Structures are given as C-alpha cells and as structure tokens.
Structure 1
C-alpha cells in the first residue's frame, strides 16, 4: 500500500509561544516527529504543512520530502484539523501525480510516541478490513462512569455516563481512554468521502500514559522535556 505521513504545525501558539520550534533534546519540537516518520521507513512521502516559513524551512532542514504552505483560512485558532490534513494531502498528490492508499497524520505536539507506535498503528488498521480509521489514546485518568462529572442544566453535578447498576470501584467501570492526539490513520475512502475523526468503524491503538502527553501548556512542555531527557531519544 502507498502511504503518506502529514505533520501539520501552525506558527501561532497561545499555550506555549513558538512551541513547534522550541527545542527538546537539542532539536526543534517538530524535528522529532519528522525523524520518527523517517526512521519508521513506512512512508512514500512525508509532508509538513504550515503557515510559518520558519517551520517550513526547519522541516526542509530535517529532510521532509515536501513542504506545503497552509492558506490563511486554515491557519486560524478555530480552523478544524481534518481540512488542514486534506489540503496537505491534496496538494502533495497534485505535486507528485500520485494517489495514496493510507493517510497518517502525526502531531508535532505529541512527540513521545515511538517508531513502534507508528508501525503498530498502521499495521492494525491495514489488517482490519472493516475499520475506516484509527486513533491513539491512553487509559483515561478519570472514568465517565465513576469519577468524571458534569453539571446539568440546573447546575447540579452528575456522572457524565450512567450505568444500569451503580459501581463502587473504578476498576469495575467499562474501559475508557484519553485521546492523546499522537497518531491518526485513515484509509483513503474514509479520509475523503466521510471525513471525520469518529466513524462507526473507528478503532483505537492503546499507548501508555508516558508516551501520550500532548503539549498544550508550559507545564506540558516541561513534562515532555523531562521524559525525553529520561529516555535520551524520541525515536
């Protein structure tokens, strides 16, 4: 099967200023995702999409195949992720005159994945004939059946999800996951014809918590930096 890997990185960031270029282990954050994709040997093309010329130049320096300048309307704080990925894939296919079977997007802000996570995610989706796409996640820190609550319309607190019978131990609740924004994989038809993160046939690849931190704040960046230093490498 033919495969493309996209890495979509906006120049602006509110939680951590210029986070995609901020260094971890002596390299810009985005470089780690590029190097993981290259080391996997899985992809025919690795492409970076950004509205930032500095990010695109950094991506080229770390060996991506193609860089795509993202249009302004897809680079706002409110722009959805899927149209950005679709724009990137469409542009690459026009440039290369090549059609891909499998689309994989890896998030630069979730760099604690390893190469095996990439390989497993793609292998699982490709071998599952009924699945349209795959997301990654880790066991949730709170359970919607036990200790995750929300307010109702009257301002009173209740469990987010109720079971027919009350449970008294978190371990007895149905398993739930936190999405970690690390790896997304789609088969082509689902990617272009039914564009969604969730479909009736979406599957999940489970990753451990220590490889599942998504950088959205300075504290997240410190956690990721600490774990990266502990590992010594993000491959």
Structure 2
C-alpha cells in the first residue's frame, strides 16, 4: 500500500490561501494478492515419460520445479505453495525452495491419471482450501505479472487461465475429405483483420473447489490472461528443453 501526500492550495477572492493536505491511498496489485486466500498447487510426479524426472531438469541454473516455485513466491499472491508428488527427490527440491509437500498416493500418479483426479485427491486431503491455482513446471516462462493479472481477474470470475493468440488457419478431416475447420474458403481472413483463436497454454489455471467437485477446472464464467506467444513454450521433449535454454540465454531480463 502506498500513501501519497498531495498539498493543494486554494485561493479565495480575498487572496487568502488555504493549504489542504490530501492523503491518497493507492492499493497495489501486490496488496490485493496478499489479502487473498488462494493456494498455489504444482503437480510434479516422478514418472515423466519424454524426459526422465522432467520437473528436475535444469534451465538457466535452476530446475523447472525451482523456477516455478521462485516465480510464484515472487508474485506474493498465495497463502501457501504446494507441490503434490510421489517422488522423494522432487519433494526435497520443493522443500529446498520453500514449498509445502503433499505426498501423492501412487494410484494418483500414473501415466493415465487425469490432472483433475490428482487435484481432487489433493483437495480432499486439505478440506479448508477453497480456491487454488494450478501451475505446470513445463511452462518455463511463467512471469509474476501474469500471475498478478490472473489474481485480479479471479476476483470476479470462477476460473482464469493462461492463453495465447493463434493466427494459424485450421483444417479437419470430414468423411475422408479435408475441409476448413473455422473459416470460409471464399473469404480467407487476413491476419490484420482477425484477432485469432484463443489457445490454452497450460501455464496456469485458477479455479475453485466447487468446480472440481463436479469434475471441472473451467466453466462459462472464465477469463484469460493473454501471454506473449514467445512465452508459451511447453517442455515435453528434449528438443523443447534445448529451445528453452536457448531462448532463456538470449533474454536480458529473467523473472526470478
């Protein structure tokens, strides 16, 4: 919170001068964050397929997990930061950087376990948590300003998630024929005349317990935080990891 003092001079027709001191209270985004009761949740199991122990892979001197925890902490937006994991090394890394550990049962850490089931298991173990934000370590370019914008929008929505704009024209197969998915062949949209599609990035999802209780992360009362397309890289392969390291090394400002 910032208090700005403004001295105002008022002159009357008799040339008398009165000085009023105004106190203007400015509530910053950080103040808003500190007042909420949202818990951050990172699902980080040990059995990743594309890259072994992917959540502990190093980028820019930190593991993907550590980078995510540090950025979340820097936002000052959360009651607690939780890491749900079945792996002892991931648990140690989480604790090293100040996160709380939820020991996830193996039946909720399989390759075919949907994220919503792992979230529900976590919430069932922590019954006082109502609002949460799910973060994915594979979105290496998470930024504090994205998080703070999401918190502000979450005040008036049931869910908020990260998204980017896509201007690619999509096609689909129908009865063996290739047809436009969402545009007319006779009037192909120009990029400058089209806002593009909104595409989830997976970087984060702010949601509420009452949605998870009915098997959802999102409903029709959602908003988005539109991130820079260059920040939308998700690390699912060794190639993605190499790309992330290259992009990070070329940036002058790192949000950690």
Tell me whether the two structures share a fold, i.e. TM-score over 0.5. yes
The aligned residue for residue 61 of structure 1 is 96
CA deviation vs aligned residue, 1:28-84 (integer Å, no higher than 9, x gap) = 1110111111111111111001121111111111111x2112122221221111121
Q: Secondary structure at the match of 1:138?
A: strand
1:186 corresponds to 2:207: yes
More displaced 10-residue stretch of structure 1: 13-22 or 159-168: 159-168
Query: Which of structures 1 and 2 has the bigger CA Rg?
Result: 2
What displacement does 1:168 show?
A: 4.1
Matched, 1:116 2:136: no
Distance between the aligned counterparts of 1:209 and 1:28, measured in 2? Answer: 23
In 1, Cα distance between the equivalents of 2:85 and 2:189?
A: 48
- CA separation of 1:204/1:90 partners in 2, compared to 1, >3 Å: closer, same or farther? same
CA distance in 1 between counterparts of 2:186 and 2:194 reads: 11
Distance 1:39 1:177 in 2: 27
In 1, distance between residues paired with 2:187 and 2:43? Answer: 43
In structure 2, stretches of 5+ residues that fail to align are 1-35
Structure 2 vs 1, CA of residues 217 and 234 (structure 1 numbering), >3 Å: closer, same or farther?
Answer: farther
CA RMSD of aligned residues (A): 2.0
**Which residue number corresponds to residue 42 of structure 2?**
7
Q: Partners in 2 of 1:162 and 1:141 — Cα distance?
A: 12
Aligned-pair distance for 1:163? 5.5
Give the match for residue 88 of structure 1.
122
Q: What secondary structure does 1:14 align onto?
A: coil
Give the structure with the higher percent strand.
2
TM (norm. structure 2) is 0.79
Superimposed CA distance per residue, residues 159-189 of structure 1 (whole angstroms, 9 cap, x where no aligned partner): 1224697334244345312211101001343
Secondary structure of the residue aligned to 1:179 is: strand
The 1-side partners of 2:182 and 2:122 are apart by 37
Q: Distance in 1 between matches of 2:201 and 2:94?
A: 23
How far apart are 1:26 and its partner, in Å?
A: 1.3
CA distance in 1, matches of 2:163, 2:112: 23
> How big is the shift at 1:219?
1.7
Deviation at 1:220, TM superposition (A): 1.3
The correspondence of residues 1-235 of structure 1 with structure 2, limited to 5 A, is 1-64=36-99, 66-91=100-125, 93=126, 99-126=128-155, 128=156, 131-142=157-168, 147-153=169-175, 155-162=176-183, 166-173=187-194, 175-192=196-213, 194-231=214-251, 233-235=254-256
SS in 2 for 1:137: strand
Q: Segments of 4+ in structure 1 off by > 4 A? A: 162-165
Given that residues 133 and 190 in structure 1 are in contact (C-alpha distance below 8 angstroms), is that contact kept between their aligned partners in structure 2? Answer: no
Unaligned 5+ runs, structure 1? none
Mapped contact 1:111–1:234 kept (Cα < 8 A): no
TM-score of the aligned structures, taking structure 1 as reference length: 0.85
